[in-house]
Structure 1
Amino acid sequence: MDINLLLTNASSIVVAVGLQLVGAILLWIVGRWLIKFGMSLLTRAFKRSNIDATLLVYIKSTLGVLLNIVLIVAILGFLGIETSSFAALLAAAGIAIGAAWSGLLAHFAAGAFLIIFRPFQVGDFITAAGVTGTVDEIGLFVTSINTMDNVKTIIGNNAIFADTIQNFTANPHRRVELVAQLDNTVDPKVAIAALQQRLSQIPNVLTEPVPEVDILEFTLAGPVLSVRPYCHNDHYWQVYFDTNKVISEAGSAAGFPAPTQHYAIHTQAA
């Protein structure tokens, strides 16, 4: 056995494998750069064509995953690995993973339906799966919502699609619903007139529909008024808190007594 020949062949193999590995690494680096560059070009093109932000995020996520899979298969082919057998193995693994992770596939399908039916989009203020906040992103499997106390909450798409969805941004205006408790000694007509006058002076309250003030119910303390001004979605909380102030200030200005519960006690002689 010729030792020199073996060493020569071994060194040739090592050099060839090393070159292949270096080429594969370079191919990965260049491929990743090309994917990022292509995605940035695609994003700019979509933004110029006024593609909806929700659809843009979904397309980018899906396309990014597919391009990375293509890149991995190309690198395996460059290394001399039979990609057809790899594709069959990948398909078999996909079936096994799909059976084990059926929940993820359900989230993926729900994400597609959210894009198709559009019950909400990025930037909408919604309640979904028990979470209320502004939609930050709709992904392949999950949706991100920033709650009112600025907490980013991640929800599985299937949980959203299977539950009731409330979209507060869909309509051009909202109704603020508050109540004003009156004392039994206060004339409801006087209180209603005072509140209606002050409601019209709150900034951003709509004149159409007209703010509503009426008797809602009666309690032991006295009548309860429903106070319902309308406003644009962007001004909801400002109008909400200003209306609370108006209810308090109107009662104080008119000299209404604080509501207290009244009981009638009857005694019967033995």
Structure 2
Amino acid sequence: MNPILLQAGPWSGILESAGSTLADVGLKILGAIILWIVGRWLIKFAIGLVSNSLKKSTIDPTLIVYLKSTLGVLLNIILVVAILGFFGVETTSFAAILAAGGIAIGAAWSGLLAHFAAGVFLVILRPFKVGDFITAGGITGTVEEIGLFVTTINTMDNVKTFVGNNTIFSDTIQNFSANPFRRVDLVAQLDNTVDPNEAIALLKGRLAEIPNVATDPAPDVEILEFTPMGPVLAVRPYCNNNDYWQVYFDTNKVIRNSFGQAGFPAPAQHFTVHQQAA
């Protein structure tokens, strides 16, 4: 009997077994990749389907965005568990490990959970919704999305800003879109020689001509304070939040043009000098 054949026999079996195992693992990896691609497509399709259905209902857009984010996270977790089950991993054990890991991660990332909890309260209590113009967490702008952990705000200079939900919820929130109108606060300095009643009547008439200025309540023009140059008028028209800056700039133009056309002198400090004989 050939000793070389005796030695080659066991190695041949090992190689065949290794090749079979590698082929099996390769097929499983390929299957997992296909499962991942198909699963991600199905998740995207399902989220789009749910989103379109919710948009046709009376559900608030803010809640729709939050539900989409939550659904996406849950479906991706299910997909990962399914892929692990495809590889033969015991899903019940994995669930226990995931729960234990969740507790450990929760203790280590308590701040992240705080943002998640704050996001839930923001959706339930609804201090603002998507599309509102707010000041929250030190950021002023239009709300684009309320996510699981952060709220997306587009600032007035068109910068997309992400603010942690807990930062917003634990701070003062100003919602400029909640009321049907808001007040524009401006001042007009008069010279001491100008009759303030004449200036007030002039401005009230001209403010009513500015586009998008509310008639109810009517614009307020009153004496605010006195300075060495003369009275200072508080000029306060009201308008919708969307028209705020247009009314703001137009009111400044009206103040300047009205006073110029009326011939009011530019404000200047006046001094009286008394001379005493030696």
Write the deviation string for residues 178-220 of structure 1: whole angstroms up to 9, x where unpaired.
1100011100011011111111111111111111111111111
Give the aligned partner of residue 117 of structure 2.
109
In the alignment, structure 1 residue 170 sits paired with structure 2 residue 178: yes
Amino acid corresponding to residue 216 of structure 2 in structure 1: E
In the alignment, structure 1 residue 227 sits paired with structure 2 residue 197: no
TM-score when scaled to structure 2?
0.93
In the alignment, structure 1 residue 74 sits paired with structure 2 residue 82: yes
Give the aligned partner of residue 158 of structure 2.
150
Amino acid corresponding to residue 216 of structure 1 in structure 2: L
CA RMSD across the alignment: 1.3
The partner residue of 1:61 within 56, 63, 69 is 69
Deviates further, 5-14 or 210-219? 5-14
Write the deviation string for residues 24-64 of structure 1: whole angstroms up to 9, x where unpaired.
11111111111111111111101111321111111111110
In the alignment, structure 1 residue 159 sits paired with structure 2 residue 167: yes
Give the aligned partner of residue 194 of structure 2.
186
Give the aligned partner of residue 135 of structure 2.
127
Larger radius of gyration: 2
Secondary structure of 1:166's match?
strand
**Unmatched 5+ stretches in structure 1:** none
Secondary structure of 1:44's match?
helix
Deviates further, 61-70 or 258-267? 258-267
Runs of 4+ aligned structure 1 residues displaced above 6 Å come to: none
Identity %: 70
Q: Take 2:151 and 2:15, find their aligned partners in 1: how far apart are those partners?
A: 58
In the alignment, structure 1 residue 26 sits paired with structure 2 residue 67: no
Count how many residue pairs are aligned between Structure 1 and Structure 2. Answer: 270
Secondary structure of 1:2's match?
helix
Structure 1 residues 268 and 95, CA gap change in structure 2 (3 angstroms) = farther
Deviates further, 248-257 or 93-102? 93-102
Deviates further, 89-98 or 168-177? 89-98
In the alignment, structure 1 residue 197 sits paired with structure 2 residue 208: no
Amino acid corresponding to residue 57 of structure 2 in structure 1: S
Secondary structure of 2:177's match?
coil
Secondary structure of 1:81's match?
coil
Secondary structure of 2:82's match?
helix
Write the deviation string for residues 156-185 of structure 1: whole angstroms up to 9, x where unpaired.
111111111110001111111111000111
Q: Take 2:11 and 2:193, find their aligned partners in 1: how far apart are those partners?
A: 114
The partner residue of 1:36 within 32, 44, 52 is 44
Amino acid corresponding to residue 190 of structure 1 in structure 2: E
Secondary structure of 2:134's match?
strand
Deviates further, 247-256 or 86-95? 86-95
In the alignment, structure 1 residue 12 sits paired with structure 2 residue 20: yes
The partner residue of 2:256 within 239, 243, 248 is 248
Amino acid corresponding to residue 179 of structure 2 in structure 1: N
Q: Take 1:259 and 1:2, find their aligned partners in 2: how far apart are those partners?
A: 107
Q: Take 2:21 and 2:137, find their aligned partners in 1: how far apart are those partners?
A: 58
Q: Take 1:252 and 1:44, find their aligned partners in 2: how far apart are those partners?
A: 56
Give the aligned partner of residue 213 of structure 1.
221
